Chains A and B, each alone.
Chain A
Amino acid sequence: MEETNDTQIFSEDIINLVIARLETIPPNIEMSIGNEGSFSIDELKERVKNQDNIGKKMIEMQLAYLRSLGNLPTQELQNAPATN
């Protein structure tokens, strides 16, 4: 798994991208992050803006997902038509 460096500072574009993705989660939802506790989406957005440890985990998670989009889901591969 790709990991962020504790001292790494992300660009404003990345921060805005991650915040936009967090905004797709309904507001009545919390995210449980192990022994760090449970966080509302607004709290997570603040953490991302502040780039603290929790915020960086959110950034790491969303970026890992976006990078994975280059890999087709197996269902699509299974449903793909034969080429000949």
Chain B
Amino acid sequence: MLLLLTRPRYDRPTHYLFYWAGLFIDEAKKKGVKVIDLDKGKSKKKKFHSYLAKQPIDTVIVNGHGNQKAVAGEDNEIILSTEDGAELLKDKTIFVRACDAGTILGKEIMKNGARGFIGYIQPFMFLIDKNSFNKPLEDELAAPVLECSNQVGISLIKGKSATEAQQDSLDKYAETIDKYSSSEATNSFLLPILLWNRTSQVCYQQQ
């Protein structure tokens, strides 16, 4: 398997996603999966399209800001949109961790022959503890959402289909929601955010 990963880092949300998406590289190493890591300044449209066109990539994980029709790389440069690049995802499985892209972009990617798509149909939200800003992986308030979301990528790296990866992630959300719903749990203010992201996460797969 060959994984193409984008990890821009130029503001607070992408700073967090940069580190949390770095865990995909660790998982890939464990599984013997090769990774093309377009981190920070490498997360540009030209490179992204070039790798998709020239390398035998199976799985794509995109982190960044998005809207219904597009997703961005470093410095908010659009790297993939309904008008530009969807055709390059034919026969690939893609996870887009960005706001809203599941509504229109995801469907366009599927129309262009992708094997599977997972993304969000609403803004992707998580909490940031300002005291943990320099250590995003140790942020106990960001972790519940980002661990559930990361499960998609981890399952894809393990060779699972989009549908299976989606189910694994939804199961993790359910487990986490149960954990924070218990009477002993603190931080129950996380529950609306967990539910929001769980409900917003969609999956499309070729029959």
Contact = CB atoms under 8 A, between A and B. Distances in A.
Contacts of A34: 13, 65-66, 98-100, 123-125
B193 interface: yes
A30 B123 contact: no
A21 B189 CA distance: 8
B72 to A, nearest CB: 8
Interface string B48-88: 00000000000000000111000010001000000000000
A31 B122 contact: no
A28 interface: yes
Contacts of A29: 127-130, 141
B163 to A, nearest CB: 19
B123 A36 contact: yes
Interface in B189-207: 189, 191-193, 195-196, 199-200
Contact of A1 (B13, B121, B193): B121
Interface residues of B, number: 39
Contacts of A37: 11-13
A8 interface: no
A84 B16 CA distance: 50
B192 A38 contact: no
Contact of A28 (B131, B181, B188): B131
Interface string A40-84: 000000000000000001000110110010000111100000000
A35 interface: yes
